[in-house]
């Protein structure tokens, strides 16, 4: 009984690390109820977490690793909608509208995910409006990002899209400091970049050769090294 109590306390403190629940008091009955159902799941690199068209199981929180959210067509072509990093949630859309999953999720690295079942989250939303507002704000932010993605694919050349992807990679790199210019290596393969940019691998290859010729990057043994961010920005 004592071990069960300790386990529940640890779960509650863990749940409060999730941005949506951070403002809830540890003694909040709704949080206590949520702790009963939350569970940890582990995925190996390349393993599917869920597939487009399946029914929603709940809200996911990525504790460790990296996840890609993507759509695919029967011919095999894919479009990456979002890369999820540790500390982020995903699957809010299907959670809220009760319909089938609009996209698939795959672990890009070995990952640890926490799943909070749908009914438990919906019950919490009825009792805690501030949690509902936090989810709304996050969904609004994701909608802005998807709007930007549509504009990129529709209005910009492939080289510009690839340059932006690489710049975003540089900005998120932990080795960069404010105002400090350092070489950054992209973590994405050319195929993944093609899926993110809404194009094919061959077009990514052409774009990378253009960027390399301009002195913005260097392609070396399967890695893409960002040499000059200012030169990349000129292609936007």
Sign of the Cα torsion 150, 152, 157, 159 reads negative
Cα separations in angstroms, 188 against 37, 103, 104, 108 = 35, 20, 18, 10
Query: What is the per-residue pLDDT for 13?
Result: 83
> Domain 2-154 has what CATH class?
mainly beta
Query: What is the per-residue pLDDT for 56?
Result: 94
Query: What is the per-residue pLDDT for 181?
Result: 41
In this prediction, residue 207 has a pLDDT band, given cuts at 50, 70 and 90, of very high
Query: What is the per-residue pLDDT for 174?
Result: 44
C-alpha to C-alpha distance for 165 and 211, rounded to whole angstroms: 12
Question: Between 32 and 55, where is the model more confident?
Answer: 55
The residues facing 90 across adjacent strands are 60
- Determine what percent of the chain is predicted with pLDDT higher than 70: 89
Which of 74-83's residues contact partners 24+ apart within 8 Å by CB, and which partners?
A: 77/200, 78/195, 79/195, 79/196, 79/198, 80/192, 80/195, 80/196, 81/146, 81/149, 82/142, 82/145, 83/108, 83/196
In this prediction, residue 172 has a pLDDT band, given cuts at 50, 70 and 90, of low
Average confidence (pLDDT) over 15-37:
87
pLDDT tens string 46-95: 999 999 999 999 999 999 999 999 998 887 788 889 999 999 999 999 99
The answer for residues whose C-beta is within 8 angstroms of residue 41's C-beta and 6 or more apart is: 49, 112, 113, 114, 115
The answer for residues whose C-beta is within 8 angstroms of residue 189's C-beta and 6 or more apart is: 222
In this prediction, residue 184 has a pLDDT band, given cuts at 50, 70 and 90, of low
DSSP string for 64-105: ESEEEEEEE-TTS-EEEEEEEETT-EE-HHHHHH-SB-SSEE
The answer, yes or no, to whether residue 221 has pLDDT greater than 50, is yes
Average confidence (pLDDT) over 122-140:
92
Query: What is the per-residue pLDDT for 52?
Result: 96
User: What's the pTM value of the predicted model, to 2 decimals?
Assistant: 0.74
223-226/184-185 β-pairing? antiparallel
- Determine what percent of the chain is predicted with pLDDT higher than 90: 46
DSSP string for 176-187: --TT----EE--
> Domain 157-233 has what CATH class?
mainly alpha
Question: Between 193 and 135, where is the model more confident?
Answer: 135
In this prediction, residue 35 has a pLDDT band, given cuts at 50, 70 and 90, of confident
C-alpha to C-alpha distance for 131 and 19, rounded to whole angstroms: 9
The answer, yes or no, to whether residue 175 has pLDDT greater than 90, is no
Closest CA to 106 of 121, 118, 90, 93: 90
Query: What is the per-residue pLDDT for 190?
Result: 84
The answer, yes or no, to whether residue 43 has pLDDT greater than 90, is yes
Query: What is the per-residue pLDDT for 7?
Result: 56
Instruction: List the Cα angle 84/87/89 in 5-degree steps.
Output: 60
If DSSP codes are grouped into helix, strand and coil, which group holds residue 218?
strand
Question: Domain segments of the chain: what residues?
Answer: 2-154, 157-233
């Amino acid at each position: 009984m004592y071990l069960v109590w300790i386990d529940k306390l640890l779960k509650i403190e863990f749940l409060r690390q999730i941005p949506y629940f951070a403002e809830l008091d540890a003694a909040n009955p709704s949080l206590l109820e949520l702790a009963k159902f939350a569970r940890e799941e582990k995925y190996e690199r390349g393993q599917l977490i869920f597939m487009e068209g399946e029914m929603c199981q709940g809200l996911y929180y990525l504790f460790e690793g990296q996840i890609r959210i993507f759509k695919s067509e029967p011919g095999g072509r894919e479009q990456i909608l979002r890369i999820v990093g540790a500390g982020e949630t995903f699957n809010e859309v299907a959670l809220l509208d009760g319909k089938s999953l609009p996209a698939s999720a795959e672990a890009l690295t070995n990952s640890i995910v926490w799943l909070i079942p749908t009914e438990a989250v919906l019950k919490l939303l009825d009792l805690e409006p501030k949690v509902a507002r936090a989810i709304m704000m996050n969904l609004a932010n994701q909608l802005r990002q998807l709007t930007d993605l549509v504009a990129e694919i529709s209005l910009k050349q492939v080289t510009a899209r690839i340059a932006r992807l690489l710049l975003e990679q540089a900005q998120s790199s932990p080795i960069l400091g404010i105002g400090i210019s350092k070489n950054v290596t992209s973590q994405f393969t050319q195929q993944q970049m093609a899926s993110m940019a809404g194009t094919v691998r061959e077009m990514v290859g052409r774009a990378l050769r253009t960027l390399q010729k301009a002195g913005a990057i260097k392609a070396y043994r399967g890695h893409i090294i960002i040499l000059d961010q200012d030169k990349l920005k000129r292609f936007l």
